[in-house]
Amino acid sequence: MADVDGTLTDEDGSESPAACKTVRRLEQCGITVGFVSGRHLSNLEALAQQLEISGPIIAENGAVAKLTPDGEILDLGYSREPALKELNRLKQLFPGAIREREDNAERLVDVVFFIDGVAHSVVREQLGDIQYYDSGYVLHLMERGISKGRTLLRLLNEMGYQDLSPTETLVIGDSPTDISLFELFPYSVLIPNPRLTDTQRRAVERVARYVSDLFCGDGFAEVAIHIAMARGC
C-alpha cells in the first residue's frame, strides 16, 4: 500500500515516471498495489486507472475507502459534521484568515484549508475534540479516531481483504500522516522527503522499519524494483 504525494511523486509534486513505471511492474508481477493517501477519492480513482492498480484505495487520510478501484465506497461510519463545525467556528474566530482549498467540495469527510497570519499553536488552542494537522501541503480537520493505518487494518481484519494479514502487507509513505501505517504494520518503508522539518523527519524515522536511500518517487522505485526482483520478475 503506497502513499501518493512525496512517495509516488517527484520533489516538485509531479508524478514520478520512475515510480509510476514500477507500480505497473509490481502489478504485472502479481503484487497487488493499493493507494493510501490524503487525496480525495476521485483523484485517486483516476490515478488508479492510469497506473492500472488492482488494490484498495484509501482516500482522505483514512476517512474514505474502497476495496478495489472500481468497487463501491465502504461505509466506515465516519462523519464530516465535526470538521465542518470546527471550520465554521475558526472562520468566526479568525475572520478573513481561513481559505478553503478548492478540492474541499470533492471531499466526503476531511476538511482542507489554509490559514493566513495566525500561528498553528493559536488555532490549536481554539479547537475542540478534533484532529488538526498540517500534511505539509494543506491543513486538515477531521473527526478523531480516523487514520490511514486504522482504516487499512479495518480492510484486512473486518472486511477480510484477500485474507491478508498485516504481516503480508507492505506500507510505504513519506510523512507524519503515514505514522499510523508505520505503527500498525510491521513491514514499512519510509521514503525520505526533503520537505519535512527535522522534527517531522525524526518522528517518521523512529517508527518506519526501513528507510530508502533515495528521495520521493526515486526512493519508491528503488524499493519496488527490489521487491519485483525478489519475486523473480
C-alpha cell at 6: 512525496
- 10 Å Cβ neighbour count for 77? 9
**What DSSP string runs through 106-135?**
G-SS-EEEEESS--HHHHHHH--SSEEEE-
Give the nearest distance from C-beta 39 to Mg ion in angstroms: 9
Interaction of residue 62 with Mg ion, rule CB under 5 A: no
Give the nearest distance from C-beta 63 to Mg ion in angstroms: 16
CA distances to 19, 50, 162 from 69, rounded to whole Å, are 19, 11, 15
If the CB atoms of residues 58 and 98 are measured against Mg ion, the closer one turns out to be 58
Interaction of residue 110 with Mg ion, rule CB under 5 A: no
User: Which residue is nearest to Mg ion, using beta carbons?
Assistant: 6
Site for Mg ion in 191-210 (CB under 5 A): none
If the CB atoms of residues 9 and 169 are measured against Mg ion, the closer one turns out to be 9
Site for Mg ion in 151-180 (CB under 5 A): 174-175
- Strands, sheet with 35-36, edge to edge from the N-terminal-most edge strand: 35-36, 57-59, 64-66
Residue count at the site for Mg ion (CB under 5 A)? 5
Question: Which positions lie near Mg ion, rule CB under 5 A?
Answer: 3, 5-6, 174-175
